[in-house]
Structures are given as C-alpha cells and as structure tokens.
Structure 1
Amino acid sequence: MNIKEHYENHLANYYSWMFGDFNAKLNENQRFFQSHNIKPVSSKIAIDLGAGCGFQSIPLAKIGFEVKAIDFSKRLLDELKNKSNGLGIEAIENDILNFDAYSDCKPELIVCMGDTITHLDSLESVQKLIENNYEILFKNGKQVLTFRDLTFELKEEDRFIPVNSDNNRIFTCFLEYHPTYVKVFDIVYEREKGRWIQKISSYKKLIISQTEIKEYFEDTGFKIEFMGIENGLVTIIGTK
C-alpha cells in the first residue's frame, strides 16, 4: 500500500486521536513557534507542508500568518477545516512535491513538521524539496523541518511501539528495518459491537540522517539558526 492509500484507508481514522489531546498538541506547537521567535514579518504567508489535521496550521494562523495548508489526505484536511473555522487557513489537497500547487504565493515561512519528510520516496526528493523551498521564500524567510531519526536500528521487542489506547481502541506500531527505509506496520485493535477487531496497514519511512539534512540546508544556501532535538524529533530551522 502506498503512503496516500495508507492514510486515507487506515491512519486518517485515528490520526488526531493517536496524539492524545488535540488542544494540548496545538499549544505545544504554539510554544515551539514562540520559543523560536517565529512570527509574521513580511508577506505574512506561511506554507504548512503535510499539514494533516492542523497541528501546525492552526497555531500559525493564531499568531497572524495566512496559512496555505498542503496535504494529500482529503480526510485530514476536512478535519482541519472543521477545527479551524474563521482562521486564515486555505486547505489545498495536493502532494507536497507538486511545487506548482504553492510556489507562487511568496511565503516568508515554510514548515514541514511532524515526521512528514520521511514519507518521501528518496533522499533526492528531500533535497529537491529543500531547494525548491529556498527558491520561493522571501529574503530572510525561514524553513522549519522536523523528522524522526531512524538511523539507529531498534532490535527485538523494542521494535514494538505503543502509540495510544483507550477503552475501545489500542494502537501499536511495529518497525521492520531495511537498508534505506523502515517499514512501519500500524496495528489497531478496535472494539466493534462487543468484539475486538484487528486492523493492520503498512507503509515505508525513509531513513534520513541529521548530517544529510544539515548538508542539504547548507548546500542550498540556508543559514542554520537552530538544530537539535525537540519533542522527540530532530528539528532544523534555516534562514534564507
């Protein structure tokens, strides 16, 4: 199953639930943007690549950005629309590598957060994304990338990752390591009419090293303002 099919047919059903309290996640990202002094300065336009249900888009809109929220999942974008009524967010259903969908809007900020870039098919696609973002950003504009470092292989039972659970649902991930990617199995047990039903879907995540991302930023021309681990993810912020 490809990544879009995985989201539309399986993961979108559980995506916001698996992160726990929705508002707590919004507040976490709002604190992140504030701590890194990310606020509207010039065009006031921000692009959120892999926007999903709005964990980044909503906080960005609340601090004054006009947000272009790009995602290939209609179901997640519909959820974003329902939860962002009245905010300056335009939901655009498209692939984040389809640069024509957002390249003419003169952004001063581009974010690609969560673990979105590991969903791309190759390191070349990651590099192309960074280069294209640099080209369309205003001078002194910022790019924010976060991703999970999968270069350290988990072994044996450590490959089973509990995600979330409640009285009617249990969500676990299982990781299968390959040389250039990790195959992720999203395993859900859900109570339906008094019975527990197992639902499984899988997809690939690209293995990206911190060194590679740093080099892509620097080779493109970004000045790196911050690089470190925040909220369990590698975070890099570059300025044009």
Structure 2
Amino acid sequence: MASVKEHYDEVLSDVYSWMFGGFEAGIQRNIEFINKHKLAPRGSGIAVDLGAGCGFQSIPLAEAGYSVTSFDIDAKLLQELRDNSEKLDIRTIEGDLIDFDNVVKSNAELIVCMTDTIVHLESKEKVTSLFAKVFKVLEPGGKFIITFRDLTHELKDLDRFLPVKSDDTIIFTCFLEYELEKVKVHDLVYKKSSGVWELFKSFYRKLRLSEDWVNAQLSQCGFEKIDSTVENGLITVIGNK
C-alpha cells in the first residue's frame, strides 16, 4: 500500500485539477462557497489551509482578503498553487498538515481542511489531535471548516466501481474496498500518449468518518455552534470557537 504522499506522487498529482473539472472550475466552486458562508476577514485576517493542494481554497481566501498559510505534502500541487497566485498573500509550506501548529502558533481567524483531506489522516486519534491543535491556534470567534466524503455507508458489488472522469486521453476509474474503520481506495488512471495507452495505478486508505462522530469530537475540543450539512454525499462541518 502506498502512503498518501506516494499515492499522489504516482497517480493523483498530475490529474488532480483535471479530475475536478479544471483549475478555474475548482477555484470558482470555492468562490461560491466563500460567498455562501459570508467568509471575510473580521479579526486577525489569518487563514490556514490544511491540505491546500493546488490552491482551490487558498486562492479564493486570499482574494477575499485573508493572509493565507497553505500546507500540503505534495510539492507538485504546491508549485501549481504558487504559479497561479504570485500577487496574492499566500505562504506555502510543504509538510504534514498535522504539524501546522509548529508554523502557525496562534491568532488564526479561519482554518479550513477541505476536499476530503481530513480522511487522509492515519487514524481517528490523529483527527482528534488535529482538532485540538486547531482549537488552540484559533483566535476567539474563529472558525474551523471541514468538508469530506461520507464513506460510512458501504457500497456493494459493482457499485464499488466508480467512473471518476474521462476524456480522449485520460480515463480515471476508482474501486473501493471497505474495512471496519477505513476504505481502501484503488485509483486506476489510463493515459494516452502518441496513440498508446499507459496505466498508472495505486491504492491507499481513507478513514470512514461520520458526521456525528466529527461533530462530537469538535464539541469535546471546545467548539461551539457546530453546524453541519450533507449535500450529494459531501459533509460540510463548521465549528466556532
């Protein structure tokens, strides 16, 4: 089994923006998210993006006026972020998001961990540890926003084969194997070059986190006014300090 970093290096980094409909589409979705939730600097103006990837959250947050620190383990995706945000107030950090508090120690107004990043952590214990660190770093009145896929409901038989996206030169299919607390995610990416198809494949594990469990853990860490919604299988949780 590949680590999360190895999986991205071997399969996902090169197709990440593409599988979300392209870079501009990913940015636009998060502009709409920011507008929907009326996110704008009202305190320190410091925002932290945990698992920033190519900047789908970081860039709209910076454009909204935040000073953003973006964490990710993937150098290629962070370079894509930098290439598209030269004039914005964004600092990129290549490293494990669980250690973000070594860089940002206090007074963050907003911390986000979106696009399924939270389920990439190794264990539920790591998740609760991250929640505690986030609460400590946030300023009073600060917000923590999480989005992740609901993997608690087990798909059966052929429903475990998911066509992610395809075009004339790339075919991306995903296959899921369910375990008690995790899901083995097998990504199969066929790429066509000079008329020849080549297969890139790898698998890694994602945590099966429920909406209720995440809300309970945030509450135990001290978060208040926890709002959560589910839309098309995507869970959005917003906790307030």
- TM-score, length-normalised on structure 1? 0.97
* Contact residue 94 and residue 101 of structure 1 kept, 8 A: no
* Matching residue of 2:41: 40
Corresponding residue for residue 86 of structure 1: 87
Partner in structure 1 of residue 29 of structure 2:
28
Distance 2:38 2:15 in 1: 32
Indicate the RMSD between aligned Cα atoms, in angstroms: 1.2
Correspondence 1:3-152 to 2 at 5 A: 3-104=4-105, 106-152=107-153
Paired amino acid for 2:228: M
Query: What is the Cα deviation at residue 122 of structure 1?
Result: 0.6
- Please give the per-residue CA displacement for 1:181-230, whole angstroms capped at 9, x wherever unaligned: 10001101111221111111111001111111010111111113421024
In the TM superposition, what whole-angstrom CA distance separates every residue of 1:1-31 from its partner, at most 9, and x where no partner exists?
1111111222101111111132122111111
Aligned amino acid, residue 39 of structure 2: I
Could you report, residue by residue, the CA deviation over 1:17-54 in whole angstroms, capped at 9, with x for unpaired residues? 11113212211111111111211011111000000000
What's 2:176 paired with? 175
TM-superposed CA distance for 1:105, in Å, is 5.0
| 2:239 aligned partner | 238
Asked whether the equivalents of residues 45 and 105 of structure 1 are also in contact (C-alpha less than 8 Å), the reply is no
Q: Percent identity?
A: 47
SS of the residue corresponding to residue 150 of structure 1 reads coil
Gap regions ≥5 residues in structure 2: none
Instruction: Give the whole-Å Cα distance in 2 for the aligned partners of 1:81 and 1:191.
Output: 28
Distance in 2 of aligned mates of 1:229 and 1:127: 21
What whole-Å deviation, never above 9, does each CA across 1:85-116 have from its counterpart, x for those lacking one? 21111111010111343332521000000000
In structure 1, distance between residues paired with 2:61 and 2:181: 33
Deviation at 1:231, TM superposition (A): 5.8
Q: Which 4+ runs in 1 deviate beyond 4 A?
A: none
Q: Which amino acid aligns with 1:3?
A: V
The code of the aligned residue for 2:59 comes to I
Please give the alpha-carbon distance, in whole angstroms, between the structure 1 residues aligned to 2:33 and 2:226: 14
TM-score of the pair, normalised by structure 2: 0.96
